Structure 1
Amino acid sequence: MPKSTLTDQQQVTAHIQKLDPAIRDVVETLRQIILNTDGEIAEHIKWNNPSFYYTGEIAPFDPKEYKRDIIVMNLHKNRVMLVFPSGAKVDDTTGFLEGDYKDGRRLAIFKDMEDVQAKTAALQDVITKWLALIEK
């Protein structure tokens, strides 16, 4: 009998349901914030974690530039890191994005639900600025 294939969204949901309860709610809340920021953001599992990418029209590009990838979650016991593969391109003067990596990635770190609530506007602002940079 053929194995049923889960959609990307179902895979992300299943992945989150298996997480430690200490971070499950934080991850699900971040997921909803990211997806609700723009209708052309989709999700899937990449590098064994929930990841988010742009689904809209985009000019041809070198796939090594990670132009479609917006965020990859990096899950730890006491924190959730959102990795923005091309975060250095975003003009973030608030200090929300952390790190100075040569490959251009930046991080946003969330410790708990209170931290998520305090940083929601900054997260949506960075995503919106990133989407504005895409060559459509």
Structure 2
Amino acid sequence: MTRQIINLNTEVTTLLDELNHPFRNEIELLRICILKTNNGLEENIKWNGPNYSIDNEDRITMRVQPPTKQIQLIFHRGAKKQEQPNDKLIANKSQMLVWKENDRAIVTFKSLQDIERGKTELTTIVNEWIKAAK
């Protein structure tokens, strides 16, 4: 059995330590879940929260500011506005996804239990998003 190395970014960890966020456990679980999904993902900071990019292209940003009673993952195709695809970027019919545009969706978690229940589905969404958002 091979062990997968999870590359948590120390700058992100430091930022989260300074924030003293009430949902820190949820944030940590999501960080690990996202990074385990694809070895090509790199973690950095964007919009004052954890961000995940592949090939230097931002794809998923965790909304942790301002601290509220939830954590959101924003699935996108980078900071620059792009021409909208005719259909949703991924065909996933997950109830977790709230679409804002055809190339932007949000997933909201309100508890550790939400994350635990949704981990398998979230892994599928992350993989589909990374493939489609190129």
C-alpha RMSD over aligned residues: 2.0
SS of the residue corresponding to residue 89 of structure 1 reads coil
SS of the residue corresponding to residue 127 of structure 1 reads helix
Question: In the alignment, what sits opposite 2:5?
Answer: none
TM superposition shift of 1:131: 2.4
Runs of 4+ in 1 over 4 A off after TM superposition: none
Computing the radius of gyration from Cα coordinates, the structure with the larger value is 1
Asked whether the equivalents of residues 73 and 80 of structure 1 are also in contact (C-alpha less than 8 Å), the reply is yes
Residue 82 in 1 paired to residue 64 in 2?
no
SS of the residue corresponding to residue 22 of structure 1 reads coil
Residue 125 in 1 paired to residue 124 in 2?
yes
Unaligned 5+ segments in structure 2 are: 1-7, 78-87
SS of the residue corresponding to residue 95 of structure 1 reads coil
Residue 107 in 1 paired to residue 96 in 2?
no
Asked whether the equivalents of residues 60 and 76 of structure 2 are also in contact (C-alpha less than 8 Å), the reply is yes
Percent identity reads: 24
SS of the residue corresponding to residue 39 of structure 2 reads coil
Question: In the alignment, what sits opposite 1:71?
Answer: 60
Q: Which amino acid aligns with 1:49?
A: G
Residues 134/84 of structure 1: CA separation in 2 closer, same or farther (3 Å cut): closer
Alpha-carbon distance between aligned partners in 1 of 2:132 and 2:21, rounded to the nearest angstrom: 36
Asked whether the equivalents of residues 49 and 74 of structure 1 are also in contact (C-alpha less than 8 Å), the reply is yes
TM superposition shift of 1:103: 6.7
Q: Which amino acid aligns with 1:111?
A: K
Alpha-carbon distance between aligned partners in 2 of 1:21 and 1:105, rounded to the nearest angstrom: 25
SS of the residue corresponding to residue 51 of structure 2 reads strand
Asked whether the equivalents of residues 59 and 133 of structure 2 are also in contact (C-alpha less than 8 Å), the reply is no
Asked whether the equivalents of residues 70 and 127 of structure 1 are also in contact (C-alpha less than 8 Å), the reply is no
Question: In the alignment, what sits opposite 1:96?
Answer: 96
Question: In the alignment, what sits opposite 1:65?
Answer: none
Q: TM-score, normalised by structure 1?
A: 0.75
Structure with greater proportional helix content: 1
Q: Which amino acid aligns with 1:11?
A: E
